[in-house]
Amino acid sequence: ACRAAVATLELFEQLDALAANQQLAQRISAAFAPLTAHPRVRHARQQGMIWAWDIESPLPDFSRRYHAAAMARGLLLRPIGHTLYCMPPYVLDDEAVAHLGRMALEALNATLLQESELLEQEVSA
């Protein structure tokens, strides 16, 4: 395990991985800007290569619904409660970054549309 850790650290140094990740993080943040600006998003934040957004939703099963909507769009994003987390891999190209940003927002909009439809059904019943 120590040998693998040392090899990883050497690789990080040779590839200047930290500088590359800072540039990638900037591109990902730009791709997530529409999600961050969404009117139902509260407390958007980023630390390194981790992003999180709290979503205003009355649904107790919001996380299950969002997870399903994201998976349907090819994203493996797993919210916890009403908080979306994203910890993308370090190997994303520009096309994958753009896809991640678009589909994360699309999954949120689809989940909130489901929420709206469910609430309308409750009112009608």
Q: What is the pLDDT of residue 26?
A: 97
pLDDT tens, N- to C-terminus, the chain (125 residues): 999 999 988 988 888 888 999 999 999 999 999 999 999 999 999 999 999 999 999 989 999 999 999 999 999 988 999 999 999 998 999 999 999 999 999 999 999 999 888 888 877 76
Q: Give the integer Cα–Cα distance in Å for 62 and 40.
A: 13
Q: Give the integer Cα–Cα distance in Å for 106 and 73.
A: 8
Q: What is the pLDDT of residue 30?
A: 98
CB 104 within 8 A of CB 77: yes
Write the CB contacts of 17 (distance below 8 Å, at least 6 apart in sequence). 11, 90
CB 55 within 8 A of CB 40: yes
Tell which residue, 49, 42, 41, has the closest CA to residue 22. Answer: 49
Q: Give the integer Cα–Cα distance in Å for 55 and 77.
A: 14
CB 24 within 8 A of CB 90: yes
